């Protein structure tokens, strides 16, 4: 047989094998938690405990297993500290400015006291705005036109909510399920800014998008209240629920190996905010992609590149009787306190985080649709980007002291 024909047959066979629908990920399944978590258990809540106080002593008497790791992090320089490893004057100052504004915005999450033109004085509003489809359609278009990358709607479920507040004056206060629905919003984190992770531009971009997602959630909540419905915004530092769990049920992605939401177009390169409400809304279909979980199982690049060794490299394990990957939040946070940034290295090296261009959309299509494609993509990503990609320099424009 003509060698050219043989080569064409081989190429055709390989092409067919790579692109025929063959997902091969039935054994991978996302399962939501079965119980609610106390916010005080989160490492970012525990960091606020002050040694010598009653709250500090009380917590560690009940949870002595966390004390050594938490005290180790407290002894480190701290997030955005000038004494930290990646201290960078301009990006750290910009990040502090963002977080300062986020702290202020946290006072607005539940709205203001009723005024002379409050919704309760406009009882006719409910009748005019009770169509779930129209409400969801308006919100989706408005949020996307003003900065959201994706918008999803779901029933607010018990396991979305923390059981109790774990920060501030309301620490220990039970969190009731006040609303029927939740709206999840994602915003994109800039590709170039994240390439220098875990250096200063990563925390600068992270804080910028926490701020951006917070503004979107706050104005959406204000809009809903003006339409005579209840609404609460859940933003950085002021959460009453777990945003990634809401986002999964709202059809925006699935939680991957690194413990972050993996979206179809940007992977984990997003920040999330949520608005809970009693406004009638249509619910998005929840579609946690099993093929993404399969790729996470194959890839392991986030685990291999995590500077804190906080991401497991093995298969999913049973945690509270649910199969999942569980990161070490203590190791992760300790790296934050020594580096001065919130890292983002795992997000940067993830193959799903590459630019959302035509080529990478084709790759993501292949990952979703073909088992063999996923195996090949792991190897090709290592060839083109490196198994341990080089950490890029900070963007030139951020180096104002040079």
184-198 pLDDT, tens digit each:
999 999 999 999 999
Q: Is 0.85 surpassed by the pTM of this model?
A: yes
303-316 pLDDT, tens digit each:
999 999 999 999 99
Structure tokens, 213: 């997602």
101-149 pLDDT, tens digit each:
999 999 999 986 444 455 555 555 665 678 999 999 999 999 999 999 9
Q: Does residue 389 sit in helix, strand or coil?
A: coil
Q: Tell me, what's the pLDDT at 129?
A: 75
Q: Tell me, what's the pLDDT at 11?
A: 44
Domain boundaries, the chain: 20-110+128-397
pLDDT, the chain, mean: 91
Question: Can you tell me the distance from the alpha carbon of 290 to that of 401, in angstroms, rounded to the nearest whole number?
Answer: 47
Q: Is the dihedral of CA 101, 231, 280, 134 positive or negative?
A: negative
Whether 84 and 77 have beta carbons less than 8 Å apart is answered as yes
First to last CA, the chain: 66
Whether 257 and 251 have beta carbons less than 8 Å apart is answered as no
Q: Tell me, what's the pLDDT at 9?
A: 44
Report, in angstroms and rounded to the nearest whole number, the Rg of the chain calculated over CA atoms: 23
Question: Can you tell me the distance from the alpha carbon of 144 to that of 139, in angstroms, rounded to the nearest whole number?
Answer: 8
Strand partners, 187: 271
The beta strand positions in 145-281, using DSSP E, are 150-155, 181-188, 231-234, 254-255, 261-262, 270-277
User: What are the helix and strand counts (H, E) for the chain?
Assistant: 16, 8
């Amino acid at each position: 047989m003509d060698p050219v024909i043989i080569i064409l047959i081989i190429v055709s066979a390989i092409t067919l094998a790579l692109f025929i629908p063959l997902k091969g990920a039935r054994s991978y399944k996302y399962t939501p938690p079965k119980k609610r978590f106390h916010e005080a258990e989160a490492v970012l809540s525990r960091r606020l405990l002050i040694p010598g106080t009653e709250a500090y002593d009380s917590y560690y008497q009940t949870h002595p297993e966390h004390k050594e790791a938490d005290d180790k992090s407290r002894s480190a320089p701290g997030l955005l500290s000038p004494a930290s490893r990646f201290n960078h004057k301009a990006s750290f100052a910009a990040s502090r400015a963002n977080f300062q504004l986020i702290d202020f915005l946290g006072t607005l999450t539940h709205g203001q006291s009723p005024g002379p033109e409050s919704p309760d004085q406009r009882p006719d509003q409910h009748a005019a705005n009770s169509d779930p489809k129209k409400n969801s359609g308006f919100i989706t278009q408005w949020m996307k036109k003003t900065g959201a990358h994706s918008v999803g709607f779901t029933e607010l479920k018990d396991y979305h909510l923390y059981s109790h507040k774990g920060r501030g004056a309301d620490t220990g206060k039970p969190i009731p399920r006040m609303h029927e629905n939740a709206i999840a919003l994602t915003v994109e984190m800039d590709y170039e800014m994240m390439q220098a992770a875990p250096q200063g531009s990563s925390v600068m971009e992270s804080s910028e998008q926490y701020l951006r997602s917070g503004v979107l959630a706050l104005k959406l909540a204000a809009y809903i209240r003006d339409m005579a419905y209840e609404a609460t915004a859940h933003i950085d530092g002021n959460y009453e629920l777990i945003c990634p769990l809401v986002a999964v049920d709202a059809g925006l992605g699935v939680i991957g190996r690194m413990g972050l939401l993996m979206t179809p177009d940007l992977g984990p390169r997003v920040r999330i905010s949520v608005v809970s409400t009693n406004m009638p809304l249509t619910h998005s279909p929840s579609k946690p992609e099993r093929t993404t979980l399969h790729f996470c199982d194959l890839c392991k690049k986030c685990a291999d590149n995590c500077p804190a060794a906080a991401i497991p490299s093995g298969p999913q394990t049973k945690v509270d009787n649910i199969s999942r990957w569980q990161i070490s939040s203590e190791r992760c946070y300790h790296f934050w306190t020594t580096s001065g940034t919130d890292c983002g290295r795992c997000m940067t090296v993830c193959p799903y985080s590459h630019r959302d261009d035509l080529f990478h959309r084709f790759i993501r299509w292949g990952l979703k649709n073909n088992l063999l494609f996923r195996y090949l993509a792991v190897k090709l990503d290592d060839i083109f980007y490196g198994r341990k990609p080089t950490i890029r320099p900070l963007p030139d424009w951020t180096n104002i002291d040079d």
